[in-house]
Structure 1
Amino acid sequence: MKCLNNNSWSEEQRCTPLYGFPLNISDIQLKSNYRPSEGRVEILVNGTWGTICNTNFASEDARVICKMIGLEYSSYSTKASLNSGRGSGPIYVNNLNCVGTESHINLCSYEISNHCTHYDDVAVSCTGTDLIKI
């Protein structure tokens, strides 16, 4: 239900909210044929790997992604397909909007609905020593 300006109520027909976050993101990785500190951004949601769309993606968003991996931000590409290949699976996040100081993308705003394809997957390049996950 939605409260309207005239103090009446309207029933919303859409079940999925525009800002349906936070997603249950349990892991993040960069997929690349070159180095583990750069590549297409993939996030693990409910056991399935997916990607992030490049709509309005900016350096602040890339900074948070590198921070989640335990590295410093270097650069980003809005066309991961050019360097890291296209992803597969769901495209979970669109219009990621971070300030740059967040420790996780769930602390940023984003949309879960999108019209993106895997040609629109984001890639980032991070710097620093790669951390080994145990």
Structure 2
Amino acid sequence: DAQLRLAGGTEPCSGRLELLYNGTWGTVCDSGWDALDAEVVCRQLGCGFARAAVPSGHFGEGDGPPLLDNVRCNASERALWSCPAHAISATIGAKRCRQREGAGVVCTGESLVWA
């Protein structure tokens, strides 16, 4: 099972998106990263709605390898794992996406309850 967290932000619901997979925290590359992707992440983390999808390592570089690229959510998904994306190995990821190209989000911070 994978987990998500936000790192490097000044608020609990803003930061660089990081993904835990097989015991390693890694980044999500910002290729194609947009408001629809950010909406799904904010909702999944219980952080309300997306204010912004932030590309290009605005929240600093992560320590782990790039793990996911070309995320293409349509904002109806309940979790990032339901969105089409390319999973990338650490060796391929290092060539395609540098850590400074990590995707980030700024969420409203409001808790949402699914009916």
Across the aligned residues of Structure 1 and Structure 2, the Cα RMSD in angstroms comes to 1.7
Could you tell me which residue of structure 2 aligns to residue 68 of structure 1?
Answer: 44
Could you tell me which residue of structure 2 aligns to residue 120 of structure 1?
Answer: 101
Q: Which has the higher contact order (CA 8 A, sep 6+)?
A: 2
Runs of 5+ consecutive residues of structure 2 not aligned to the other structure: none
Q: Hey, which of these two has a bigger chunk of strand by percent?
A: 1
Hey, what's the Cα distance between the residues in 2 that align with 1:105 and 1:33? 20
Task: Report how many residues are paired.
Answer: 105
**Which TM-score applies when normalising by structure 1?**
0.72
Residue 109 of structure 1 aligns with an amino acid whose one-letter code is: P
Q: Hey, which of these two has a bigger chunk of helix by percent?
A: 2
Q: Percent identity?
A: 30
Which of the numbers 28, 32, 37 marks the counterpart of 2:13? 37
Could you tell me which residue of structure 2 aligns to residue 77 of structure 1?
Answer: 54
**Which TM-score applies when normalising by structure 2?**
0.83
Runs of 5+ consecutive residues of structure 1 not aligned to the other structure: 1-23
3-state secondary structure, aligned to 1:40: strand
Could you tell me which residue of structure 2 aligns to residue 15 of structure 1?
Answer: none
Hey, what's the Cα distance between the residues in 1 that align with 2:61 and 2:45? 21
